[in-house]
Amino acid sequence: MKPAADGQAARSGLAGIAQRPWFKAAIAIIVIVGVIATAAFIYANRPVIVQVATATENVPIRVFGLGTVEAQVLSKIGFEVGATLVELNADHGDRVTKGQVLARLNLGEQEAKVAKARAALLVAEANIKKAGANLEKTQAVLAQKQAANQRKQALVGRDIVTQQVAEEAIRDEAVAIADVAVAKSEVETAKAQRIDASAQTEFEETLLRHRTLVAPYDATVIERHKERGTVIKAGDPIFTLVANASYWGLAYVDEARAGFIQEGQRVDARLRSRPQDAFTGRVVRIGLESDRVSEERRVFIKGDSPPSQVYLGEQAEFWITVAQLDKALLIPEAAVQGYDGREGRVWTVESGRLQRRLMKFRHRTEDARLEVGESLPVGVQIVSQVESGFREGRAARAIEARTK
């Protein structure tokens, strides 16, 4: 009978424990925790609703570049010689034409040198005439000596003149020939002196012309650097000129975005001083050297209809259309993990469950969407908005995201 008594005592003890408040509270807590855990498990494994990307049509791919307004032809012009600046005929903002006189230096000293050189040229020409006349004289004497020599050589054979007279006639002819040679050399020397005097005159006249500054092309005066009365040195800039119709835009584009830029592509621009106005243009040049510090490429844009008044150095924004996609699948860059400019991992819905895929991308839009650069298998959709709680294998129900 002892075992039965012990069992009944145990049951009585358990019944007593079960009647205690703390035991009831513990059971209630266990039940509540179990219910919560079950609910959490069911909630965590419920089919999640995800937005998937759909194809978008007529998508322009534009690359942004920040830059300034510049001039293709800009010159700081000045004199090739130094002297006192005595005349200025242009000022800031003036439009000048090719060959127009813009400034002059003091001409006094150089005009005197030109006059001296011209006088030396006249002397050289006179010396040529003198040498020519002397040549004619010596040639006439030579002709006379030759005739006399011929007569005396004929008479000496008949013993009419002595042998000494005949020899003197030969000598006189030889002297006359030498005099003609000397006269010819004097003519050549005089001609050389005239060439030298002519070159010196041209040199001095060139220096005189260098004291007059003319416009090298049709241009606008951007700045005047000197004033009348200033003693300038050779090469000092007097004016800064910009050739008319040579304005263009200089855009700095991130190297990572510059790969698809080509000459001739359309550009939309906006000037900082005129934000309400839209300007268009074309890419006319792409710099062959990138900035090694900022890692940017220089792109030059020629405007189709620039404003009437252009200000050099003004900040401008440029949007270069590098492609027009007829139909493309675009994914927000935020939905791509580990994107390195070429590829990255995305979430996909495959057979009703979430999976991860490594995808390649091509273009990037202004609003940070990436063009999928490869074909997707049938039934595979890419998630366009990543939510917390995503894990591979979780059930998912796809809905199409609204296209922009």
Express each pLDDT in 317-368 by its tens digit: 999 999 999 999 999 999 999 998 889 999 999 888 889 999 999 999 988 8
Lowest-confidence region among 83-92, 160-169, 294-303: 160-169
The pLDDT, as a whole number, for residue 44 is 56
Element (H, E) at 50: strand 48-52
Q: Give the mean model confidence (pLDDT) for residues 42-65.
A: 82
The pLDDT, as a whole number, for residue 310 is 86
Per-residue pLDDT reduced to its tens digit, 140-189: 988 888 887 777 777 776 667 677 777 777 888 788 888 888 888 888 99
The pLDDT, as a whole number, for residue 1 is 46
The residue among 236, 212, 216, 234 whose CA lies nearest residue 224 is: 236
Q: Can you tell me the distance from the alpha carbon of 355 to that of 91, in angstroms, rounded to the nearest whole number? A: 71
Q: Can you tell me the distance from the alpha carbon of 373 to that of 58, in angstroms, rounded to the nearest whole number? A: 16
Q: Give the mean model confidence (pLDDT) for residues 259-274.
A: 93
Checking if the pLDDT of 247 tops 70, the result is: yes
Tokens of 5: 């008594």
Q: Give the mean model confidence (pLDDT) for residues 253-275.
A: 92
The pLDDT, as a whole number, for residue 30 is 76
Checking if the pLDDT of 10 tops 60, the result is: no
The distance from CA 253 to its chain's CA centroid, rounded to whole angstroms, is: 12
DSSP 55-109: EEEEEEEEEEEEEEEEESSEEEEE-SS-EEEEEE---TT-EE-TT-EEEEE--HH
What one-letter code names the amino acid at 382? I
Helix axes of 21-44 and 2-18: crossing angle, nearest 10 degrees: 70
Residue 33: pLDDT band (50, 70, 90) is confident
Residue 9: pLDDT band (50, 70, 90) is low
Q: Tell me the pLDDT of the chain averaged across its residues.
A: 86
The pLDDT, as a whole number, for residue 43 is 57
Pairing relationship of beta strands 315-332 and 380-382 according to DSSP bridges: unpaired
Q: Give the mean model confidence (pLDDT) for residues 137-142.
A: 86
Q: Which residue has the higher pLDDT, 402 or 122?
A: 122
Element (H, E) at 231: strand 231-232
Bridge-partner residues for 70, per DSSP?
Answer: 248
Percent of the chain with pLDDT over 90: 46
106 contacts 84 by C-beta, under 8 angstroms: yes
Q: Please give the angle made by the CA atoms of 240, 241 and 242, to the nearest 5 degrees.
A: 130
Q: Can you tell me the distance from the alpha carbon of 331 to that of 384, in angstroms, rounded to the nearest whole number? A: 6
Tokens of 239: 């004016």
Cβ neighbors of 219 (< 8 A, separation 6 or more) are 75, 95, 96, 241, 242, 243, 244
Element (H, E) at 360: strand 353-364
